[in-house]
Amino acid sequence: MEAAFTLEFFDAPEPFLAAAGGLLAAEPVLGSVIASVTQRIERELAEGRDSWVEADAPFARWWLAVRDGSGEVVSAAMRTATFKPYPTFALPMPEAAARALAVALHERGELLGGANGALPGAEVLARATAELAGGVMVSDKATRLWEATAVDVPRAPEGRLRQATEDDAELVLAWFTAFHEEADEQAGREPDPHSGEHNTLDSVLVRIREGVEWLWELPDGTVAHLTGSGLPSYGVGRIGPVYTPKAFRGRGIASYVVGELTRRGLEAGTRMCLFTDQANPTSNKIYASLGYEPVVDMAEHLVKVPTNA
């Protein structure tokens, strides 16, 4: 008999953080995505904006705290992605809780088109969803979460590191889009032309104003690289995206910039993490050489359902 878990849904960030904040604080690297996204939405709503309105999703945004029999929060998930198929993202989740979540969403008529996050829970959620909906689960991408407790910063190439400004917004937006497309190519997958659609000029400007987007400028003023380094959540900062146009690769720019931003974070007392695509051996090798070590394997799953289902 499977253990009983209670699923507690929230429609706003504040009560969710009040319920799950202890878990996120206890596992801040594992919870980096949920914490940083939720806190960003919290800031956005406080400023009177809501990017979810523009998502035009067929369901309401939600967060979830999973409680065990004693009432302790043992896992968390969210469905806040503003891009199709609006996947969930989950912390390590007991398999019984993942199956219960699939049933709960099915019973309220909410089709879950994708489930991302820590294994095996994310896969269990996607597979159970597919079975209930009469569809199939597709494993789309294997990812890995890494943390650096120390960093070996390589020698700087020619040029300088600077924060992106609002004048760089259109370039940053274009590179966000190129990053998604070229990451698929590098991993041997068919590029998804819609993968970067959730990025908009407004969302890029928000990140630039937060000071989290960094550019590498060559001595002649040409901008040759982009790396994001997000605001810390529960003491953890996350690097990404990391993008160098093809014409400027092979110069050690990405290695230096990621290393330097990691060093700055660590020296400020922030734990530093990042994600890699397991199908991209180049990026995995680069980050390992800087001092990043694997924390947990995650994956992205799709749920394909016949249109007449």
Convert the pLDDT of each residue in 158-203 to its tens digit.
999 999 999 999 999 999 999 988 866 665 656 555 554 568 899 9
Angle at which helices 253-267 and 281-290 pack, to 10 degrees? 40
pLDDT at 309: 47
Give me the CATH number covering residue 205: 3.40.630.30
Mean model confidence pLDDT for the chain:
93
Whether residue 179 is found in the same domain as residue 278: yes
* Stronger pLDDT, 72 or 183, i.e. the higher one: 72
Q: What are phi and psi of 254, to 5 degrees?
A: -60, -45
Q: Are 78 and 52 in contact (CB under 8 A)?
A: no
> Would you say residue 152 lies in a domain?
no
- pLDDT one-digit tens code per residue, 196-245: 456 889 999 999 999 999 999 999 999 999 999 999 999 999 999 999 99
Domain span at residue 119?
Answer: 6-143+298-304
C-alpha span between 173 and 58 (Å, rounded):
26
> Would you say residue 1 lies in a domain?
no
Whether residue 69 is found in the same domain as residue 116: yes
pTM attached to this predicted model: 0.91
pLDDT at 180: 80
> Would you say residue 16 lies in a domain?
yes
Q: What are phi and psi of 142, to 5 degrees?
A: -100, 125
pLDDT at 90: 97
Whether residue 139 is found in the same domain as residue 167: no
State percent of the chain over pLDDT 70. 93
> Would you say residue 54 lies in a domain?
yes
C-alpha span between 129 and 223 (Å, rounded):
45
Q: Are 37 and 80 in contact (CB under 8 A)?
A: yes
pLDDT at 184: 63
CB atoms inside a 10 Å sphere around CB 153: 17
Cis peptide before 85 (omega within 30 of 0): yes
Paired residues of 213 in beta bridges: 228
pLDDT over threshold 90, residue 2? no
pLDDT at 55: 87
Considering its fold, how many domains does the chain have in total?
2
